[in-house]
A and B are shown apart, each in its own frame.
Chain A
Amino acid sequence: MTIASAETWLAGVPPFVPGTLKVGPDGKGYLVGGHCPGCGAFYFPARSVCSRCLCGDLERVPLCSSGSLYTYTVIHQSLPQFPTPYVLGYVDLDDNVRVAGQLVDVDVDALELGMRVTTQVEPRENPDGEQVLWFRFKPAATTAAEELS
Chain B
Amino acid sequence: MTEVYAVGVGMTRFGKYPDRDAFDLGAEASLAAIKDAGIDPRAIDGAYFGHVYQGMNAGQRVTGHIGISGIPVTNVENVCSSGATAIREASIAIRAGEHDVVLAVGLEHLSSKFRGALAPEEGDIEGAVGLTMPGVYAMRARRYLADFGLTHAQLGMVSVKNKANAAMNPVAMYHKIVTLEEVLASRPIAEPLNLMECSPVSDGAAAVILMSGEKARQLGMGRAVRLAASSLRSGKVESEPSSMTFEPLTRETANAAYAVAGIGPEDVDFAEVHDCFSIAEALRVEGLGLFEQGTYLLAVGRGEAHINGRLPINPSGGLLGKGHPLGATGAAQVVEVVRQLRGEAGARQINSPSVGVAHCRGGKAAGVEGAACTVQILVR
A66 part of interface (Cβ distance < 8 Å): no
Do the beta carbons of A98 and B125 come within 8 Å of each other? no
**Main SS class of interface, B:** loop
Do the beta carbons of B239 and A51 come within 8 Å of each other? yes
What residues of chain B lie closer than 8 Å to A97, measured between beta carbons?
240-241
B132 part of interface (Cβ distance < 8 Å): yes
Do the beta carbons of A45 and B139 come within 8 Å of each other? no
A-B contact count, CB below 8 Å?
110
Do the beta carbons of A76 and B189 come within 8 Å of each other? yes
Do the beta carbons of A74 and B188 come within 8 Å of each other? yes
What residues of chain B lie closer than 8 Å to A74, measured between beta carbons?
188, 190-191
Do the beta carbons of B239 and A50 come within 8 Å of each other? yes
Residue of A nearest to B116 (CB): A77
B134 part of interface (Cβ distance < 8 Å): yes
- Shortest B243–chain A CB gap in Å is 9
- Knowing A71-B139, A88-B131, A100-B131, say if A41 contacts B240 (CB, 8 Å): yes
State A102–B128 Cα separation when bound (angstroms). 10
What residues of chain B lie closer than 8 Å to A98, measured between beta carbons?
238, 241, 367
Which one, A47, A70, A72, A82, contacts B237 given CB within 8 A?
Answer: A47
What residues of chain B lie closer than 8 Å to A51, measured between beta carbons?
236-239
B140 part of interface (Cβ distance < 8 Å): yes
What residues of chain B lie closer than 8 Å to A20, measured between beta carbons?
125
- Knowing A45-B366, A45-B367, A50-B239, say if A73 contacts B139 (CB, 8 Å): yes
Do the beta carbons of A52 and B132 come within 8 Å of each other? no
Residue of A nearest to B124 (CB): A17
A5 part of interface (Cβ distance < 8 Å): no
State A51–B135 Cα separation when bound (angstroms). 26
A75 part of interface (Cβ distance < 8 Å): yes
B219 part of interface (Cβ distance < 8 Å): no
Give per-residue flags for B111-132: 1 if the beta carbon is below 8 A from chain A beta carbons, else 0.
0000011010001011011111
- Shortest A58–chain B CB gap in Å is 11
A89 part of interface (Cβ distance < 8 Å): yes
State A89–B131 Cα separation when bound (angstroms). 9
Which one, B117, B193, B366, contacts A100 given CB within 8 A?
Answer: B366
A-B contact pairs, 16 of them (CB 8 A): A20-B125, A39-B239, A50-B239, A51-B236, A51-B238, A51-B239, A70-B143, A71-B139, A75-B190, A79-B117, A79-B130, A82-B130, A88-B190, A98-B238, A100-B126, A113-B146
Binding site for B on A (CB under 8 A): 16-17, 20, 36, 39, 41, 43-45, 47, 50-52, 70-79, 82, 86, 88-90, 92, 96-98, 100-102, 113, 134-135
4 nearest CB pairs, A to B:
A73-B138, A52-B239, A41-B239, A98-B241
For the complex with contacts A73-B192, A76-B188, A77-B117, 10 further pairs of A-B residues with Cβ separation under 8 Å are A17-B125, A41-B239, A73-B193, A75-B189, A75-B190, A76-B190, A79-B132, A88-B129, A88-B131, A113-B142
